[in-house]
Amino acid sequence: MERQEVIRLEHVTKRFGDKLVLEDIDLSVYEGDIIGYIGPNGAGKSTTVKMMLGLVDGYEGNIFIFGENLKNQDHTYKRRIGYVPENAELYDSLTAQEYLAFIAGLYGLEEGSARVKAHRLMMKFEIDHAMHARLSSFSKGMRQKVLIISSLLHNPNVLFLDEPLSGLDANSMLIVREILAQLSAQGKTIFYSSHIMDIVEKISNRIVLISGGHIAADGTFDELKEQNQKGSLQDIFNSLTGFSQHKEIAEDFVAIVQEEPA
């Protein structure tokens, strides 16, 4: 069976002012893919995701989602998309319950059933006790969980997760990892970025590494291992981003920290 193409980037170039962030990116994503989108800080991962959601405009090239060019789409394609932003930014002064009800409403879900669903999901993440507390009192991990729930309430086909694991404890990370695996087995497409290499290594069926505005590697973990003759994704990441002297840098860093002021 031919898998449907869900996302296609064609010659996408993005600048902020005169700073080139992405240059001539081509990328196709198919139904059921779990794509681990990795790259150094500031490589343009979040920017890529934001472009696909229409948050960042002003790019060259074309982005197709569900086969339609974004430039010709209205808002309706977003009904089938879930998004977890990177900075855990949400409306702080609302309670978790109010926030989730609001998001569910934006996705056009029926209020009563959405409320029950949100509550049940919160129970699974063991944060239901904080249902009626303001989000501003939530810890980073708790906020992250609320965001993950809010991105899944409407059972989307495609998930964009920008560092979804940040702030989660080891157990919760295991749960989320398993959720992603199972969602993808159901045919959902997942496009996520993360810096936790051993998780990316284990759950992605495809890894895209972006560096210096270009795609530096694209393939399954096994393919990348073969091409680069390295044993772990961490090593591949280091070698592809041209990085080998972490020891020296750390030594210098500590030396500077310990310098006596002149």
Partner 1 sequence: MNNFATLRLLDRFAPLFRRAGIDYPMLRLILGMKLTMDTRRVPTVFAQSKVKEGKNYFIRSLWIYALYGLAVIPFLFIDDYFFQLSIIFGILMFILMTSMVSDFSSVLLDVRDRNMMMTKPVDQRTISTAKMLHITLYMSLLTIATTGIPLFVSLYVNGFGFFLLFLAELILLNFLILMMTALVYFAILQFFDGEKLKNVINFMQIALTLGIILGYQLVARSFQFTSLDVTFTPSWWQLFTPPVWFGALHEALLTGERSLFVLLLAALAVIVPVIAMILYVKMIPAFESSLHKLSTVEQGKEKRTNRLKQIFLRFIAPNQEERNFMNFSFAMMKNEREFKLKVYPQVGFTFVIPFLFMFTTSENGSFEALREGSSYYLFYFTLLVIPTVISMVKYSGAYKGSWIYAAMPLKDRMLIDRGLTKSVLVMFYLPAMLILTPVFIWIFSGRIWLDLVVIIATAILYAAICTLALNGKSLPFSQPFSVAQHQEGIKAFVMMLVIGGFCLIHVLFNNWAFGLEIYAVILLIAILIVWTLGFRKIRFDT
Ligand X SMILES: Nc1ncnc2c1ncn2[C@@H]1O[C@H](COP(=O)(O)OP(=O)(O)O)[C@@H](O)[C@H]1O
Angle at CA 175, nearest 5°, toward 222 and 201?
Answer: 15
- As measured in angstroms, the least distance from the Cβ of 142 to Mg ion is 21
Nearer to partner 1, 14 or 206 (CB): 14
User: In 3-state terms, what secondary structure has residue 86?
Assistant: coil
Is 53 among the residues that bind partner 1 (CB under 8 A)?
A: yes
Contact partner, 76, from Mg ion, partner 1, ligand X, none, Cβ < 5-8 Å per class: partner 1
Q: Does residue 135 contact residue 99 with C-beta atoms inside 8 Å?
A: yes
As a whole number of angstroms, the distance between CA 124 and CA 131 comes to 13
Nearer to partner 1, 17 or 231 (CB): 17
Q: Which range of residues in 80-88, 98-106, 197-205, 242-250 is near Mg ion by CB under 5 A?
A: 80-88
Nearer to partner 1, 102 or 253 (CB): 102
As a whole number of angstroms, the distance between CA 243 and CA 8 comes to 30
Is 16 among the residues that bind ligand X (CB under 6 A)?
A: yes
> What contacts 54, CB < 8 A, 6 or more positions away?
70, 78
What residues numbered 35-94 form the site for ligand X, per CB under 6 A? Answer: 39, 41-47
- Other CB atoms within a 10 A radius of the CB of residue 102 amount to 13
Q: Which range of residues in 133-141, 175-183, 214-222, 250-258 is near partner 1 by CB under 8 A?
A: 133-141
Nearer to ligand X, 85 or 156 (CB): 85
Angle between helices 96-106 and 140-152 (to 10 degrees): 30
Q: Does residue 188 contact residue 165 with C-beta atoms inside 8 Å?
A: no
Contact partner, 95, from ligand X, Mg ion, partner 1, none, Cβ < 5-8 Å per class: partner 1
- As measured in angstroms, the least distance from the Cβ of 246 to partner 1 is 27
User: In 3-state terms, what secondary structure has residue 138?
Assistant: coil
Q: Which helix (H) or strand (E) holds 172?
A: helix 170-185
Which positions touch partner 1 (CB under 8 A)?
Answer: 16-19, 53-58, 74-79, 81, 83, 85, 89-95, 98, 101-103, 105-108, 132-134, 136-137
Which positions touch ligand X (CB under 6 A)?
Answer: 16, 21, 39, 41-47
